[in-house]
Amino acid sequence: MLFDCERLTLARRLRGLRKNQLAQAVGTTPKAIGQYEAGVQRPEEPTLRRLAIALGVPVEFFQSGRSPVSMDGAHFRSLRSTTQIERDQALAYGRIATDVVAVLERLVDLPEVDLPEYPVSPEEIAGPGPAEAARLTRKSMVERAGPVPHVVRLLESHGVIVLVLPRAAERVDAFSVGVHPRPMVFFNPAKGDYWRNRFDAAHELGHLVMHADAEPGEKIVEDQAHRFAAEFLMPEADIAGELPAGPDWDRLAELKASWGVSMAALLYRARTLGIMTEPVYRNAMSALSSRGWRRQEPGQARPLEQPTMLTRALEVVAGAGSDRDRIAGDARVTRADLDLLVPRR
């Protein structure tokens, strides 16, 4: 069997292990693991089997054959609050997801990638670029005024792969990758917040539309995606006349229900549109905190917008005789990892 050193790195990152942890599990040294991953030395067959067992993958996982897809341009938020191990693990899930998608695309027609591009300079700190990009994107993708009914479904209908990260990577915030063959958006499973997830989806859409060449993680770039999401979900032309100038909680609750955004997002929007003054906004946010509404706002919970494109694709190919075991084998991922990434309905 031809050994692909990059597949060993991928498997280790997928399990969130450091080299020393893997070395301890298989009875070797971190230096040896480093040499295997660098391609300096090939592990002997007994060691290869122990590596496979420790990493929960078949030995065949380490076979060469498929070109790696770069995930270097991933737009992560909260870079300071997550570790490199956690980000590597999340990207490893993204990497195996591209293998699953590649297999599915040979068997079923997924929606064509049809995303607009409106680049905004990463040096534009407070200019109109993000809001203008959001207006043009809405015109291209939504074609209606008012609230966006289902953000995840909208992304999938334009060819974006949307996935929920396995809980092992739950400390990583939502992130997106605009790589070939398809752009991808990943959600954090731990939030469980319908309104925040919709804003996350719009934020990541902003990266895909505006930031093909921007350095991921920069504060200015993240702020631009935030302003894009605000205009995309709460267009100034449609919502400005509805927003209160003060913390009218009943009114904010009504807007939250109809627009599918949090009260915190509505307050932010009222401030950025100049409807609410800065002192009033700050007092309102303090009130949100003191009432415990920063963690959980009042109102009935709603189920998250769930991605369905890949689940539906697996159902279609199953009907044609290719079940999940076969798709997992062809993609060279474990059945367990496939089920984590694309749960059954």
Q: What is the pLDDT of residues 92-135, one digit of tens each?
A: 988 899 999 999 999 999 999 999 999 998 888 888 999 999 99
Question: Using an 8 Å Cβ cutoff, are 46 and 28 in contact?
Answer: no
Q: Average pLDDT, stretch 62-85?
A: 71
**pLDDT at residue 68, rounded to an integer:** 61
Task: Tell me the two tokens of residue 319.
Answer: 């009907």
Amino acid identity, position 239: I
Please, which residues bridge with residue 75 across strands?
176
pLDDT in tens, 153-183: 999 999 999 998 877 666 677 888 886 678 9
**pLDDT at residue 244, rounded to an integer:** 96
pLDDT in tens, 288-307: 999 998 888 888 889 999 99
Instruction: Locate the DSSP E strands across the chain.
Output: 75-76, 161-164, 175-177, 184-187
What is the 3-class SS of 178-232, one letter each residue? CCCCCCEEEECCCCCCHHHHHHHHHHHHHHHHHCCCCCCCCHHHHHHHHHHHHHH
Q: Average pLDDT, stretch 244-268?
A: 95
pTM: 0.90
Question: Using an 8 Å Cβ cutoff, are 259 and 222 in contact?
Answer: no
Domains of the chain as residue ranges with CATH = 1-65 (1.10.260.40), 72-233+307-344 (no CATH)
Question: Using an 8 Å Cβ cutoff, are 244 and 251 in contact?
Answer: yes
Band (215; pLDDT cuts 50, 70, 90): confident
